[in-house]
Amino acid sequence: MPLSGIRILDLTRIISGPYCTSILADMGAEVIKIETPGEGDPVRRQGVIKNGLSWYFANYNRNKRSVALDLYSQEGKDILRQLIPTCDVVIENYRPGIMEKMGFGDDALKALRPDIIHCSINGFGTSGPYRDRPAFDFIAQAMSGFMSLNGGENDPPMRAGPPISDLVAGMNGALGVLAALLRRERTGRGDSISVSLMSSMIGLLSFQAANYFASGELPPRTGNDHGIVAPYGLFETADGQVAIAPSNDAMYDKFLDALALQSLRSHPDFQANADRMLNRASIKAVIEARTRQESSRYWIERLNQYGVPCGQVLNLREVFDDPQVADQDMAIDVPHPDGQQVRMLGFPIKFAESPCQARTPAPSLGGDTEAVLRELGLPEDRIQELLAKGAA
């Protein structure tokens, strides 16, 4: 696997950090998740719980080992100090400054292992006026400008449904770690990486940011309409709605052919895209009068035949029942020790030679503590002593 032999110390919890380390674990890295004894990652208690297991936790912590360590205790810190030199990478999502306070700032990490790669996933960055603020996905969505672009024209600014600032920050963390590993392979040097929820969201502002920079004009929220193309969006059919995206004039022509509405070509209101933008509502009405005559299925097939990008708006049941999603293995069933088959998201990155794998289910809290301490060379009585004390 791409990351076989890479060992990662995972000091993260909740979702941005665990998503980052799960991407790397799915690619074959050995991830050692440090959790507070008796308590563990709060996500263990979040979402729908079946047979005592949070399927949310199971999804984002597959392929990891769990070591319970009380990092407030001297013993816990000592063990961490012994663990770090055995790891290629340390990933954490504490607030900036906490690692230093714990005695594991960049200099301390480097002293323990000169070529260490350290990745901090944080809310706003490791410097700047908001550095110490508590962060949260919703807040990053609000402060990044993302919400100002999301939602309908007459809606309030809208958060994205899934926690995308956590997820995209996790992806940026994994990108940084992989790039640093590659550099280390070629130079022998480690690095220290910071990614924040807020900057990760700003990184998604795309053409809206470019247009704002160039024009100084604030882009509006356009809901499901395209900012500069019409017709475009959701169209009603006999039994639902279809998303249709004829993104240029050539596509618009094909769209009219597929609808058998070639007569619209000579309609004075709908000549150029600029005319159609002005008459967006009326062209939509003409098109929907036609699309309402047939089923969504009919239109999906017909429009695809004509090469017009389209698709149904699927809910999660329809998504995971969809033959394409099945073909792409985007839901996988992972056997767990108690006999549960836990369904979770599959791997969006497909390697032909070295595919991502679900090698092991999410660990029980501290399930690998003894094994990892033994690997460190701790004598058996010392291990039992630490466990008895609650330090591990």
71 binds a second copy (CB under 8 A): no
Which listed residue (70, 191, 368, 370) binds a second copy by CB under 8 A? 191
282 binds a second copy (CB under 8 A): no
State which amino acid sits at residue 75: E
Catalytic-role residue among 41, 70, 88, 166: 166
Provide the terminal-to-terminal Cα distance of the chain, rounded to the nearest Å: 31
Q: Which residue's entry shows tokens 């997820």?
A: 167
The nearer residue to a second copy, 226 or 382, going by C-beta atoms, is: 226
Distance separating alpha carbons of residues 22 and 38, to the nearest angstrom: 22
CB 265 within 8 A of CB 256: yes
Query: Stretches 151-159, 263-271, 272-280, 365-373: which one binds a second copy (CB under 8 A)?
Result: 151-159
Q: How far is the CB of 194 from a second copy (least distance, A)?
A: 4
235 binds a second copy (CB under 8 A): no
277 binds a second copy (CB under 8 A): no
State which amino acid sits at residue 63: N
State which amino acid sits at residue 185: E
User: What part of residues 94-123 is at the interface with a second copy (CB under 8 A)?
Assistant: 106
Indicate the burial class of 104 (C-beta count within 10 angstroms; 0-12, 13-18, 19 or more): buried
User: What part of residues 298-357 is at the interface with a second copy (CB under 8 A)?
Assistant: 304, 307-320, 322-325, 327-328, 330-331, 342-346, 348-354
User: What part of residues 10-29 is at the interface with a second copy (CB under 8 A)?
Assistant: 15, 23, 27
Cα-atom radius of gyration of the chain, to the nearest Å?
26
Torsion angle of alpha carbons 38, 166, 143, 42, nearest 10°? -10
245: three-class secondary structure by DSSP: coil
User: What part of residues 237-266 is at the interface with a second copy (CB under 8 A)?
Assistant: 241, 243, 245, 247
Distances (CA, A) of 80 to 21, 35, 110, 329: 18, 12, 14, 37
371 binds a second copy (CB under 8 A): no
52 binds a second copy (CB under 8 A): no
Verify whether residue 166 is a known catalytic residue.
yes
Site string for a second copy, 164-183 (x = CB under 8 A): x--xx--xxxxxx-xxxxxx
Q: How far is the CB of 102 from a second copy (least distance, A)?
A: 19
Give DSSP secondary structure letters for 214-235: HH-PPPPP-TTS-SS-SS-EEE
Which listed residue (39, 97, 115, 224) binds a second copy by CB under 8 A? 224
Distance separating alpha carbons of residues 47 and 252, to the nearest angstrom: 44
162 binds a second copy (CB under 8 A): yes
Catalytic positions: 166
